[in-house]
Amino acid sequence: MKAAPEEFEALKKLLALKRHEQPPPGYFDHLPRTIRARVQAGVPETVSGFWETLFHRLTLRPAAAYSAVGIACVGLVVGFGLFFQEEGDPPYQTSVETFGQVFPEEVIVPLGMKLASTNVEPESSVQPLLPQHTPSFFFPTQPATSVNFSPGQ
């Protein structure tokens, strides 16, 4: 890291040019007045709030901004999907009340799915827990219609 004193002499002379850079005339007369006015007005700092900071950072990082928008869109779609799917299902409480005694140890998870925690087989007379027709936001099911392919029609 040793350097001869004259090693950077030319550079120092060149850097001296920066000392001649001056702001517009009268700038230093206006600046204290502006600061005083802001102090008296109690103006908040330019970038202070969480949202402003977040926006500032996202503006500076387009990749992060696109990712955030993508995540938000996916979140919205999934959210809407779940919302509509639950609306189409029979009420959750009803299925518990109806079948709770038949499968006392069953574990019921959201969306009407059930997981049996024991090896107890359901009695054959019991109807399946899941409804026959579960409307789905993503894969809407149509009621089956009878089709006759017999010739002559």
Partner 1 sequence: MIETKSYHATESLLTTAPLENRSSNQMSDDLALVKRAQQEDVSAFDELVRRYQERIYATVYHMTSNHEDANDLVQESFLKAYRALKSFKGNSSFYTWVYRIAVNKTINFLKQRRNKFQMSLDDLDFNAEHDPDLVALISDKTPRRELNLAELQEKLNAAMQKLSETHRLVVTLHDIQGLSHEEIGKIMDCNVGTVRSRLFYARQQLQAYLSDYLK
Q: Which residues bind to partner 1, rule: CB under 8 A?
A: 1-3, 5, 8, 10-24, 27-28, 31-32, 34-36, 38-40, 43, 45-46, 56-57, 60-61
Asked if residues 114 and 107 have their Cβ atoms less than 8 Å apart, the reply is yes
Buried b (16+ CB within 10 A) or exposed e, 1-38: eeeeeeeeeeeeeeeeeeeeeeeeeeeeeeeeeeeeee
Residue closer to partner 1 by CB (options 61, 133) is: 61
Min dist CB 34 to partner 1, Å, is 6
Residue closer to partner 1 by CB (options 38, 133) is: 38
Residue closer to partner 1 by CB (options 56, 133) is: 56
Min dist CB 66 to partner 1, Å, is 15
Question: At a CB cut-off of 8 Å and minimum separation 6, what does 81 contact?
Answer: 137, 138
Residue closer to partner 1 by CB (options 41, 147) is: 41
Min dist CB 68 to partner 1, Å, is 17
- Expressed in angstroms, the distance from the first to the final Cα of the chain is 99
